[in-house]
């Protein structure tokens, strides 16, 4: 690449190289396709430069969560290009559609069939492969693309500035007390903003070490890695926390700090974590990719139990407000986030309905804020449906079910019944031993229907065994 483009990222080659030297990848597979190829940062950066893409060209990285993905990500940035990590299992047709939506100049994957992307050959980039895409669009150098939080369609992305992501990571570091001598376990996918910003970029700036493990998530493996690698800081989704609690084990004493984000963790589970791990610092966080991503944090270990349902208070430099929503109580409204870390723009999908004005986004989440500034999640606006003339909060249904003993995850699907009326189905995933016992399933079914009003009851209820190894955000 040309000289000027390489100066765009707010960091240099040596800083990236030092960071990658602090990364341990427990899940790195032996790659037999290109055994002679190097994954050293200098060589991957040179391979990316050899693609000959114009500065600002998006590059889609369909790679497994690991050190190789981080190397490719930074190599793309060092060349003045715009990385977009996506799950490696994304089907080729969907990858091609995403590439067209964001104007990608190249696709990088472990094993690509070039004909599916309108190309005739692949070229090596480290031990991965790349195909050129005929999309002439470019974005400002020094930006990145990230998949959205899921409210704007599967073919949309958020355009962010690299410096704002680094700023958001620093604010998160300050909120949770992450230190340079910490060892951070990343068991969440790096192609999502939570792990990428709040863990990887946080470690990049603090000097902390990273241990990469998974997905998929296994509670036994997770707890063993915490102990074996002397991990002091980790992050989980609420689903993963419930899996660990169902596993019946306590966190190793060496784990100093745990952050939970990606969804709401029920107060009952928070109480169990705090009571069962008295030396653990527990932080509940709220955020969304569009915000850059972290917005608020609650230091649950330092708060009374009455605040365990809260998402905490906004990070320094972040302001929030509530926008009234018709049909909802006056103390609740859609949360607006005002921050210098919000997305530049939404690309693809159903368009940018998130941005209220520059620097301010609408989250699509219903909140209330108490007199002390603590945020309380009340559900997604799209989670409210009218069933048989009654407004039903699907988020409240899921929360109620997930608080029941043995329940690991609850999901809802809205549909129209045979008469064209709105209804919803409820799927409950439980511990395998509970699912195997017919009497236990019947008892859970009775408990669920016994706590729901007639209008709140699902049309169909499915209770199934959870695949613990498949849990992920």
The answer to whether 280 and 256 have CB atoms below 8 angstroms apart is yes
Binned average pLDDT, 10 residues per bin, the chain of 473 residues: 50 96 85 69 97 96 96 97 92 88 95 92 96 92 82 72 98 98 95 94 98 86 95 92 83 95 87 94 95 97 97 97 86 96 85 82 93 93 75 84 88 84 90 87 91 86 80 47
Q: For the chain, give every domain's residue range.
A: 4-141, 162-381, 388-470
Look at residue 417 in the predicted model and tell me its pLDDT. 81
Report which of 118, 58, 70 is spatially closest to residue 347, judged by C-alpha positions: 58
DSSP string, 186-241: E-S-TTSHHHIIIIIIHHHHH--EEEE--SSB-HHHHHHHHHHTT--EEEE-HHHH
Quickly count helices (H) and strands (E) in the chain. Answer: 13, 26
Matching CATH number, 162-381, of 3.40.50.12780, 3.90.1300.10, 3.40.50.720, 3.30.9.30 = 3.40.50.12780
pTM over 0.75: yes
Look at residue 353 in the predicted model and tell me its pLDDT. 67
**Topology of domain 4-141, per CATH?**
Rossmann fold (3.40.50)
Look at residue 406 in the predicted model and tell me its pLDDT. 84
Look at residue 380 in the predicted model and tell me its pLDDT. 80
Look at residue 149 in the predicted model and tell me its pLDDT. 52
Per CATH, the architecture of 388-470 is what? 2-Layer Sandwich (3.30)
Can you tell me the distance from the alpha carbon of 384 to that of 378, in angstroms, rounded to the nearest whole number?
Answer: 10
Can you tell me the distance from the alpha carbon of 303 to that of 450, in angstroms, rounded to the nearest whole number?
Answer: 32
Say whether 162-381 and 4-141 share the same fold: yes
């Amino acid at each position: 690449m040309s000289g000027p483009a390489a100066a765009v990222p707010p960091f240099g080659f040596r800083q990236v190289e030092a960071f990658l030297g602090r990364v341990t990848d427990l899940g790195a597979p032996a790659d037999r396709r290109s055994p002679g190829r190097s994954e050293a940062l200098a060589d991957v950066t040179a391979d990316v430069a050899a693609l000959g893409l114009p500065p600002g060209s998006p590059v889609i990285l369909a790679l497994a969560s690991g050190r190789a993905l981080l190397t490719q990500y930074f190599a793309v940035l060092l060349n003045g290009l715009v990385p977009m990590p996506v799950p490696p299992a994304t089907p080729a047709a969907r990858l091609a559609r995403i590439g067209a939506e964001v104007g990608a100049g190249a696709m990088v994957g472990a094993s690509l069939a070039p004909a599916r992307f309108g190309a005739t050959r692949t070229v090596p980039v480290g031990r991965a492969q790349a195909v050129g895409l005929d999309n002439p669009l470019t974005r400002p150098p020094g930006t990145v693309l990230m998949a959205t939080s899921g409210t704007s369609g599967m073919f949309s992305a958020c355009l962010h500035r690299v410096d704002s992501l680094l700023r958001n990571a620093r604010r998160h570091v300050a909120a949770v007390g992450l230190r340079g001598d910490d060892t951070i376990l990343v068991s969440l996918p790096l192609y999502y903003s939570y792990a990428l910003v709040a863990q990887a970029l946080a470690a990049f700036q603090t000097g902390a070490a990273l241990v990469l493990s998974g997905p998929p998530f296994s509670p036994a493996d997770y707890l063993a890695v915490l102990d074996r690698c002397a991990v002091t800081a980790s992050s989980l989704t609420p689903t993963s926390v419930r899996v660990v609690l169902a596993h019946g084990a306590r966190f190793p004493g060496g784990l100093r700090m745990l952050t939970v984000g990606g969804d709401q963790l029920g107060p009952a589970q928070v109480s169990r974590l705090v009571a069962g791990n008295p030396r653990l610092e527990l932080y509940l966080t709220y955020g969304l990719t569009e915000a850059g991503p972290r917005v608020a944090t609650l230091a649950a270990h330092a708060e009374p139990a009455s605040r365990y349902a809260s998402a905490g208070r906004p990070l320094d430099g972040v302001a929030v407000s509530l926008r009234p929503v018709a049909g909802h109580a006056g103390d609740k409204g859609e949360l607006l986030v005002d921050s210098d870390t919000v997305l530049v723009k939404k690309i693809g999908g159903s368009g940018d309905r998130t941005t209220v004005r520059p620097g301010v986004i609408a989250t699509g989440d219903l909140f209330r804020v108490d007199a002390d500034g603590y945020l309380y999640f009340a559900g997604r606006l799209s989670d409210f449906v009218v069933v048989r003339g009654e407004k039903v909060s699907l988020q409240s249904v899921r929360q109620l079910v997930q608080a029941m003993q043995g329940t690991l995850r609850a999901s809802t699907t809205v549909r129209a019944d045979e008469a064209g009326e709105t209804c919803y189905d409820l799927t409950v995933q439980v511990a395998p031993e509970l699912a195997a016992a017919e009497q236990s399933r019947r008892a859970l079914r009775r408990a669920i229907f016994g706590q729901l009003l007639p209008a709140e009851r699902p049309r169909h209820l499915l209770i199934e065994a959870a695949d613990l190894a498949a849990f992920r955000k």
